Structure 1
Amino acid sequence: MNTLPHFATPQLQLLHRGKVRDSYRIDDTTRLIVVTDRLSAFDSVLETAIPHKGAVLNGLANFWFEQTRGIIPNHVVKLVDVNATLVKEAQPIKVEMVVRHYLTGSMLRGYQQGQRTFSGVTVPDGITKHQQFPAPIVTPTTKEESDREITPSNLVSEGWVSRELYEQMAEKSLALFKLGSDLLREKGIILVDTKYEFGLLNGELILIDEIHTPDSSRFWSAEDYARNPEGAEQMDKEYIRQWLIAHKVDGKYPRALTPEVTQEAVNRYLDIYARIVGHPLPTADETGDVTERLTHNLVQAGLLSAS
């Protein structure tokens, strides 16, 4: 299947190549973010690209950016392609605001090993797998080469953010989580946990990066969770993480996915997009070259020259 593992053009200055997103300079106030089909797990980019993944992430993020404008402004200027968005240039805050409502994922793995305090939040003994917390909790991490759990007080003392800014980020994160949870509940989906990233634009806090996507969030089927909480269907990237964990050799994760796992990942990304947005991904049946389509749309938007 046709994929977009990377995008390169000599016409634009590459600002940053992340695990999944490539950022290009447009001018002093705007940049272009291209969301590729690369897949990152356990702080490593796999060799296998997932068809349609970038379009799903870009489309879902923009859906949620529109839904949440009443809570906080964001960096979106406009979509120029299903894989690319023109955004406002902001000063990123190097903190991920992780909001959790259930004991699962990395937190569950730590809990099972005896850990009870996570980023300064202490949880009691006796919590079972996938159990819901009384209320969502915020467990921030730093954005470094390897994300690090950190308490709010240490974020302040180490100079990552001011106390006032952290409290504003925490308040906005919980408000975003509530809106996302409420909307998804209507669609039979549980927003289990997620992460938010913020930036400053002219001194104002804004939302950046992505929001409520299968890469930044964990989703469960509400019906499955009600029937069997510990066996709830994983409608996100956790499926791939679990496959990698199950196939570790000598302590190392596989570098590539099998064709069967890749196809299942494609199916899951397309399914969660349709369930959230209410219609299939517009390019789900596309067979043409993704790079050619993207380049054409960038030319049409006046961001690249045709020559």
Structure 2
Amino acid sequence: MNTLTHFDSPQLPLLHRGKVRDSLRAPVGERLIIVTDRLSAFDSVLETAIPHKGAVLNGLANFWFAKTAHIILNHVIKLVDANAMLVKEAEPIRVEMVVRNYLTGSMLRGYQAGQRTFSGVAVPDGLTKHQQFAEPIVTPTTKEESDREITPENLVREGWVNQELYDQMTVKSLALFKAGSELLAEKGIILVDTKYEFGLLNGELILIDEMHTPDSSRFWSAEDYAQNPETAEQMDKEYIRQWLIAHKKDDQYPRALTPEVAQEASRRYLDIYERIVGEALPTTDSEDVRARLLANLSAAGLLKAANEELKTL
């Protein structure tokens, strides 16, 4: 199975290469986001790419953006390929709005160590692993080289956002989380926690980046959770994190996955896509991902002479 590890084009200037996404300048000023098959874990991009991963993330983000456009406008113009999305150029807000509805992950580890306040939100004593909160909470972080837990008051004090904008982001984040939780509940999936990113377009708050994907969210099987909350099946990239933890040596995580782990990870990404969207991802193992991408970019008028580019990439 071939994978898409990066994308470059002399016709489309590279704006930013993130851990998973490559952002390029489109011909008339928009931004072209290429979602690659790179995989990031523990703040590091692994050497092993995961087949279909980029298409899963891109397709799920597009699905959720369409489902929530009545709550808040987003940056999507159109999906131009399974791995590519043309979006409006917004000014990103360097804050991640993390919404949590269960005690798990890093918050659980902090709680077990005695921490009771998270990003300014106080939680009570006596909570158990994976216990649901009385209501979802918002625990923002800064978007820096290493994301930093921060209170809303300090976000405003340090100049990341003003109070009015933060309040608006909070309201929208909770509304998005509610909508996502309700839709996923119908499919037997619990939206455990997630993060949202926002930007400003002509002074108006819009939703950007991705939402409710296996990379940005934690999912559990509702059936498993009902049987035993502490061992509920996690339906996201936690499978890969746990493999890396199990194979850590000399305080270093592996830089690459085995073929078997990569294949299983791909299967899990495809499975969560199908469970959420209700149909299989429209890609195949045999297709040349880069050739398909170039052809679709050309058909969308974003590239000229795609065949010549294919020879050089």
Deviation at 1:29, TM superposition (A): 4.0
Deviation at 1:253, TM superposition (A): 1.4
In structure 1, how many angstroms separate the alpha carbons of the residues matched to 2:119 and 2:249? 30
Q: Deviations over 1:62-82 (max 9, x none)?
A: 000000000000000001000
Tell me the equivalent position of 2:275: 275
Deviation at 1:286, TM superposition (A): 3.6
Please tell me the root mean square deviation across aligned C-alpha atoms, in Å. 1.0
Deviation at 1:27, TM superposition (A): 4.5
In structure 2, how many angstroms separate the alpha carbons of the residues matched to 1:104 and 1:244? 19
Tell me the equivalent position of 2:290: 291
Q: Deviations over 1:250-303 (max 9, x none)?
A: 2221111122221111111000000000000000x3412111110111011110
In structure 1, how many angstroms separate the alpha carbons of the residues matched to 2:250 and 2:112? 22
What secondary structure sits across from 2:125 in the alignment?
Answer: coil
Tell me the equivalent position of 2:139: 139
Aligned-partner residue type, residue 64 of structure 1: W
TM-score (normalised: structure 2): 0.96
Q: Deviations over 1:127-157 (max 9, x none)?
A: 1111111100000000011111010000000
Deviation at 1:57, TM superposition (A): 0.2
Aligned-partner residue type, residue 231 of structure 1: T
Within the alignment, does 1:303 sit opposite 2:296 as a pair? no
Aligned-partner residue type, residue 271 of structure 2: D
C-alpha contact 2:12 2:27 (8 A) present in aligned 1: no
Aligned-partner residue type, residue 302 of structure 1: G
In structure 2, how many angstroms separate the alpha carbons of the residues matched to 1:270 and 1:173? 26
What secondary structure sits across from 2:96 in the alignment?
Answer: strand
Taking the TM superposition and a 5 Å limit, the aligned residue runs for 1:90-239 are 90-239=90-239
Count of residues in correspondence between the two structures = 306
In structure 1, how many angstroms separate the alpha carbons of the residues matched to 2:262 and 2:129? 27
Tell me the equivalent position of 2:89: 89
Q: Deviations over 1:146-195 (max 9, x none)?
A: 11101000000000000000000000000000000000000000000000
In structure 2, how many angstroms separate the alpha carbons of the residues matched to 1:61 and 1:261? 24
In structure 1, how many angstroms separate the alpha carbons of the residues matched to 2:260 and 2:193? 27
C-alpha contact 1:194 1:217 (8 A) present in aligned 2: yes
Is the alpha carbon distance of 1:212 and 1:224 closer, same or farther for their aligned partners in structure 2, counting shifts above 3 Å? same
What secondary structure sits across from 2:223 in the alignment?
Answer: helix
What secondary structure sits across from 2:6 in the alignment?
Answer: coil
TM-score (normalised: structure 1): 0.98
Deviation at 1:240, TM superposition (A): 1.3
In structure 1, how many angstroms separate the alpha carbons of the residues matched to 2:109 and 2:261? 23
Identity %: 80
Q: Deviations over 1:47-101 (max 9, x none)?
A: 1100000000000000000000000000000010000000000000000000000
C-alpha contact 1:63 1:277 (8 A) present in aligned 2: yes
C-alpha contact 1:14 1:24 (8 A) present in aligned 2: yes
Structure 1: stretches of 5+ with no match in the other structure: none
What secondary structure sits across from 1:184 in the alignment?
Answer: helix
